[in-house]
A and B are shown apart, each in its own frame.
Chain A
Amino acid sequence: MKLIVYENDTWSNLTPLSYIRPVFELRCGMYTLLERILNKAKTDDVILFVRDYLANLVRKKYKYPVNHVSELNDDLLIVDGKLLATDNFKTDKEAVYLCDNEIVYAFVKKENASKINGMNLAQILDFVKTLPAVNIDAKLMRYPWNFIHENPEMLKKDFISCGKKGIEGVFSPQAGVKGPDDIFIGEGAEIHPFVVLDTSSGSIFIDKKARIFPFSRIEGPCYIGEDTHIMPGASIREGNSIGPVCRIGGELEESIIQGYSNKYHDGFIGHAYIGEFVNLGALTTNSDLKNDYSTVSVYVNGKPVDTGDLKVGSFIGDHTKTSIGTLFNTGTSAGVMCNITAGGILPKFFPSFVWYVNNKFMKGFGLEMMLNTARAAMDRRKRVLTQEEEDVIRKVYEITAEMRKSYIAKSSKAKT
């Protein structure tokens, strides 16, 4: 069976997290959305469809064809990349499966699959709409906070389904486990003395080469990625999914960190989703609960959207940096490559690439310097900013320019 995984124009509802990656690379539980879809589809014969400006980047990263279908002569599964795939796909009959009138996936028998050869995504989806429709319950991750909502439960399920348990790394005799032995410590990982792993409410998976420094407490369910360090004294509360090569200290609760990001020092981050190569200065904190206990709204595509949730933290785009003492308001959305400095009650929305200094939005030192900073940050973690990644960042700079300019203009007119 061949598999098409696509992102459609709803990708912008997942910004800032989706600006420089396809939506199916976002993380929930121990895996990305794409990893889950591949696991449930049980095929490695894949075609990806992404927005044009990501195509070269995705082409370089994956071995799969991108934005092009040809030689279809097998059964075909077509899946929306923002699906949190928890169930097996139904492939017994040709149909399009819908949730709230939105396509979740479709199955096309090989006799008809060849009709799709040479089609673009819009044409494929038009074709799919002609198939018999079946309504299903599905988890489509339409907004960033959906990931936070689903993360704890997915962590629990993933631990069971991955089938790993036990200690392959080094577990200090002075460290302890409170609760059942639902832990996995990967090869080369180190659990230092006086660390407490509390599995009372869920499992803990610590991937290979991760290091948990003394006096840290990790509460399950939790996933800690490869080569991530949990700094001394950290309080990693329940429901966190931390990607690879992060440095995490202070307090973290029910949050997702894509990878390669630093929250080295004290400060609370809760119900948040942090992109890659983000650096949160010491004491950076976000509110995740309003004082009047009302539902939290978050800016999406420039407009506030009611999340319907009481606990929502911040959503921080890749390469964004915060100063020491930055205090994010409940439900803040900060774009990619922002530079945000502390100062009173901060706005709830930061357009990508802005500098926020002395309570004003500014252009900062310009894109070239931001790219140099990104190169330096990536070099520290043995990553190179590829030409494809740079091209994507430049494109995002272009498509976010209007929003950024309007905020800077309004800000400069405001009285200081």
Chain B
Amino acid sequence: MERQEIEKKVKGVVSRILGVDESGITSESRFVEDLGAESVQSLELVAAFEEEFGIEMEEDAALQVQTVGKAIDFISKYLK
């Protein structure tokens, strides 16, 4: 999957789970500080990414990811 497509899907998931406008999400956006993710929403994001991309992520490492851009990188590794 192309990085552009991954980015589009990631932003779609983030928008849906965190209830923020997709246009306001950038690669630099931080889940907690900029997008207001609560700890429980972090869990929902991991679950939603797994469902969206059909992957199973290592939860400890996944929850260390702090920005949308890093999430795209992280998910890309599973899609190689």
Number of residues from A at the complex interface, CB < 8 A: 15
- Which of A341, A362, A365, A369 makes the CB contact (< 8 A) with B47? A362
Q: Is the CB of B59 within 8 A of A364?
A: yes
The DSSP consensus for interface residues of chain B is helix
Q: Counting CB contacts under 8 A, is B79 at the interface? A: no
Contacts of B25 in A (CB 8 A): none
Determine if B46 is an interface residue (Cβ-Cβ < 8 Å): yes
Instruction: List CB contacts (< 8 Å) of A362-376 with chain B.
Output: 362-366, 368-369
* A412 close to B (CB within 8 Å): yes
Among A169-201, those with CB < 8 Å from B are none
Query: Do the beta carbons of B43 and A355 come within 8 Å of each other?
Result: yes
Q: How far is the CA of A368 from the CA of B61 in the complex (A)?
A: 11
Report the minimum CB–CB distance from B49 to chain A (whole Å): 10
Q: Is B34 an interface residue (CB 8 A)?
A: no
Most buried by A among B44, B58, B59, B60: B59
Residues of B within 8 A of A341 (CB): 40
Inter-chain contacts of A362 with B (CB < 8 A): 43-44, 46-47
CA distance A355 to B43 in the complex (A): 9
- A-B contacts counted at CB < 8 A amount to 35
Give the contacts of B24-80 with A (CB-CB under 8 A). Answer: 40, 43-44, 46-48, 50-51, 58-60, 63
**Across the interface, do A412 and B43 meet the contact criterion of CB distance under 8 Å?**
no
CA gap between A29 and B58 in the complex, in Å: 43
Q: Per-position contact with B for A401-415: 1 when CB-CB < 8 Å, else 0?
A: 000000010001100
Would you call B43 and A413 a contact (CB within 8 A)? no
Q: A363 touching B40 by the CB < 8 A rule?
A: no
Residues of B within 8 A of A412 (CB): 47-48, 50-51
The docked-state distance in angstroms from the alpha carbon of A184 to that of B51 is 57
* Chain B residues with CB below 8 A from A413, complex form: 51
Task: Kindly state the separation between the CA atoms of A10 and B60 in the bound complex, as whole angstroms.
Answer: 34
The smallest C-beta distance from B45 to any residue of chain A, in angstroms, reads 10
A160 interface contact, C-beta 8 A:
no
A11-40 contacts to B, CB under 8 A, are none
Give the residues from 331 to 362 in chain A that come closer than 8 angstroms, CB to CB, to chain B.
341, 355, 357-358, 360, 362
B60 touches A363 (CB 8 A): no
CB <8 Å contact, A363 and B51: no
The chain A residue with its CB closest to the CB of B42 is A365
Give A364 Cβ to nearest chain B Cβ, in Å. 6
How long is the Cα–Cα vector from A358 to B18 in the complex, in angstroms?
13
Question: What B residues does A358 contact at CB under 8 A?
Answer: 40, 44
Complex Cα–Cα for A365 and B58 (A): 10
How far, in whole Å, are A218 and B48 apart by their CA atoms in the complex?
48
A365 to B59, CA, bound (A): 6
Q: Judging by beta carbons under 8 Å apart, are B40 and A366 in contact?
A: no
14 sampled A-B residue pairs with Cβ under 8 A: A355-B43, A357-B40, A358-B44, A360-B44, A362-B47, A363-B47, A363-B59, A364-B43, A364-B59, A365-B43, A365-B60, A366-B58, A366-B63, A368-B60
Task: Across the A-B interface, give the 5 residue pairs with the lowest CB-CB distance, nearest first.
Answer: A366-B59, A366-B60, A412-B51, A362-B43, A363-B59
A-side residues, CB < 8 A to B, are 341, 355, 357-358, 360, 362-366, 368-369, 408, 412-413
Residues of B within 8 A of A (CB): 40, 43-44, 46-48, 50-51, 58-60, 63
